[in-house]
Copies of this chain bind each other. A is one copy, B any other.
Amino acid sequence: MIISMKPGASREQIERVCERIREMDFEVRSIQGDERVVIAAVGLGNVTHAIEALRSVEGVENGVPISAPYKLVSRQVKDERTVVAVGQTSIGGGEFAIIAGPCSVETEEQIMACAAAVSAGGGRFLRGGAYKPRTSPYSFQGLEEEGLKLLRKAADEYDLSVVTEVMTLGNVQLVADYADVLQIGARNVQNFPLLKEIGATTSCPVMLKRGQSATIEEFLLSAEYIVTNGNPNVVLCERGIRTFESVTRNTLDINAVPVLNQLTHLPIILDPAHATGKRDLIPPLVRAAVAVGADGAMVEIHPDPERAWSDGAQSMTFDQFAKVMNDIEPYVELWKAGRPELVGLSA
């Protein structure tokens, strides 16, 4: 880490900083600049803690880490890309994963119809919410365990894998009994007790959604919570960040795909439905997801979007979904042919 002193910091202040650095198990290398003293510290101490502490010492202007604060999820620790096995298929390997289904599981008929449509379109993953985090207490909150059962039944009928959200520590085992992939929603990206629990008590694959205001570094630190607690099967999902633009619900941070491909070995999925909130914008963004080198895309479909119990405006009809699947086919072919280059690392 690099600690820069305020211009005019006194000899004593500088000495004190150096002492504190040594106390925290680093070696000191100080550099006399023209305007101020800069102190570099190398060693095996806890950098995050040390910077926090040093910023509060008098005379210090700023402290910046040199290394990233996450370890296990970084490409420095593990360079080859992680392939997360899910049932007969996988995410991050040779297939572009399409995860589709309704926002909420509503009825057996609805989820069965969705599963049939996913399967017909060539998708391998059925999504659907049984526990729903809703901004308003007056909105539909999900069918809970009944929803999980319906989801499992529909997936089994069509040989699909289930992706569904878990919201509380107490439900992790229950949801894991029905799901093939546990989704951690955007609002829980920094629910650290939940991340620890999922890391420590299950090896079920996890799809971690980026929070609306999570930086990429924070997102990776949240993934690190899961991995360092014991579960390495993490898939990242970028689903839009909060910006000033209000025509779309969020702004899909497509930059995040090549950035994450450089920083981490974990697979990355894009979710254009939540990033836009508008069904019509989804087809071109799914194409972009393939082209940019993501490992998959998640979309919402519904047999009758205008009667959906939640998120109808961003759900595609089955016809639209079929069209999208058809539309992206040649892009997926290119993706398969050029995987290593696609991730942009060799450019």
Contact surface of A with B, Cβ cutoff 8 Å: 2, 4, 7, 20, 29, 31-36, 38, 40, 42-44, 46, 48-49, 52-58, 64, 66-67, 69-70, 76, 133-141, 167-170, 187-188, 190-193, 196, 211-213, 215-218, 221, 224-225, 228-229, 241-248, 251-259, 261-262, 275-276, 279-285, 287-288, 290-293, 305-315, 320, 323-324, 327, 330-331, 334, 338, 341-345, 347
Contact = CB atoms under 8 A, between A and B. Distances in A.
Contact of A347 (B190, B282, B307): B282
A140 B52 CA distance: 12
Nearest to A243: B243
Given A241-B251, A284-B293, A287-B342, 19 more contacts: A2-B2, A31-B40, A33-B67, A35-B76, A48-B138, A53-B306, A56-B315, A134-B192, A136-B221, A141-B192, A187-B191, A216-B245, A241-B245, A242-B242, A245-B253, A252-B255, A259-B281, A288-B292, A327-B338
A313 B55 contact: yes
Contacts of A44: 34
A196 B131 CA distance: 14
A63 B273 CA distance: 18
A219 to B, nearest CB: 10
A243 B187 CA distance: 18
A211 to B, nearest CB: 8
A137 to B, nearest CB: 5
B20 A38 contact: no
Nearest to A247: B216
Given A4-B66, A313-B52, A258 B280 contact: yes
A251 B259 CA distance: 12
A305 B56 contact: yes
Task: Determine how many copies of this chain the complex contains.
Answer: 4
Contacts of A64: 2, 64
A48, A136, A215: which has the most chain B beta carbons within 10 Å? A136
B327 A56 contact: no
A240 B49 CA distance: 22
A311 B52 contact: yes
A260 to B, nearest CB: 10
B258 A306 contact: no
A291 B280 contact: no
